[in-house]
Amino acid sequence: MPRDPKSDVFSVGIVGVGLLGRAIGEQFMTRPDASVTAVADVSDEARSESGKALAVPVESQYADYEAMFDAEDLDGVVITTPHALHYEQVSTALDRGFHVLCEKPLVLNVDEAVELRDRAAEAGLVLMVGFQRHQDSSFQGARERYWPDGPDIEFVTAEITQPWFDSFGGSWRTNTDLSGGGFLVDTGRHVVDALLWVTGLTPLAVTAQMAFREDGVDERADLYVEFDGGATAHISVYGDAPAVREAHHVWDAEGAAYIEGRGWDGRSLATIDADGTEHTPLLDRNSEPNKAEAFLECVETGEDPPATPTDAIRVTALIEAAYESAQTGERVEVSLPDDAQY
């Protein structure tokens, strides 16, 4: 139930307290205006360990997230559970009047994403999606090149590799009933989101090829995307590589923007002039908020979060079409709602 709004401390409940849920909880703990009040997880071990790490008493550790919603005085919730559970959990949180920070993906189909976006807006609640590249100054700097009236984009490449199967093989991430797919649905979604958010391009159609480790679980995906205005993009993701590498190259009428990096640290940004001269902008990493900070700021100010449900709608529409293309071998048009187009 929502807590007394007169309190100065924002009360948070976390649904799913594995590594990610616990890490976000620790971000809230650094804030004097926020408190991790309760946690919920089906794993006894995860509840116990996170409870100790986040200073949550045993009586506020729950196996059932709805029991936590009923019993605790909460302002907002963080959801870091398997993908297929997000819709029900976000929906229930909105029904209770909670602000929500949901890890990606928001949901696994466009209709549900549209519904949740509209319900949150109608209720005046923050619904933030955990696409952290929106808070990375390299991606922000590249986006500023194209928004609102930057040079016309002509050609884009984006890729990411990761030893994903070594890390998550046998976990819920490779169970399609819980994950909704494979590497593209999981880590690859970040790359698709970043491309769309940085460029502001509206996808029209996609042709995709995928290699599957098992039924429905892709280890490699190659997408050719056509955009409104004539630009095209090649997106490649590979989940059986020995290291994490990421690169986004955006070529436009005046040169290019390059975003590159390794591991999970911040990315670098370089711009290229029409004559081939390369520049490395100075990035203010200290200005980058973490997810908890960004979420609390949006609750306080009423501003849109760094990654909105509409961002999630765009990504989901393109990924849905990519899986259909890979299954049918055909070019598939992207069914993007009119109010989600750039």
Q: Which fold has domain 10-131?
A: Rossmann fold (3.40.50)
Confidence of residue 6 (pLDDT cuts 50, 70, 90): very low
Write down the pLDDT at residue 3.
45
Q: Which two tokens stand for residue 245?
A: 């590498």
CATH class for the domain made up of 133-285+309-340: alpha beta
Q: Where do the domains of the chain lie?
A: 10-131, 133-285+309-340
- In this predicted structure, the answer to whether residue 4 has a pLDDT above a threshold of 60 is no
- Token readout for 60 is 């506020």
Rounded Cα gap, residues 328 and 223, in angstroms: 14
Question: To 10 degrees, the CA torsion angle through 285, 290, 296, 301?
Answer: 30
Residue 228 in this model has a pLDDT that exceeds 60: yes
Percent of the chain with pLDDT over 70: 98
pTM of the entire structure? 0.96
The fraction of the chain above a pLDDT of 90, given in percent, is 95
> Is the per-residue pLDDT at 112 higher than 50?
yes
Nearest-angstrom CA–CA distance, 17 and 40: 7
Name the residue among 185, 197, 187, 183 with its Cα closest to residue 108: 185
Q: Show the tokens assigned to 194.
A: 């970043």
pLDDT tens, position by position, 239-266? 999 999 999 999 999 999 999 999 999 9
Read off the pLDDT band of 136 (50, 70, 90): very high
**Do the domains spanning 10-131 and 133-285+309-340 agree at the CATH topology level?**
no
Q: What is the pLDDT of residues 9-24, one digit of tens each?
A: 999 999 999 999 999 9
Please measure the distance between the N-terminal and C-terminal CA atoms of the chain and give it in whole angstroms. Answer: 37
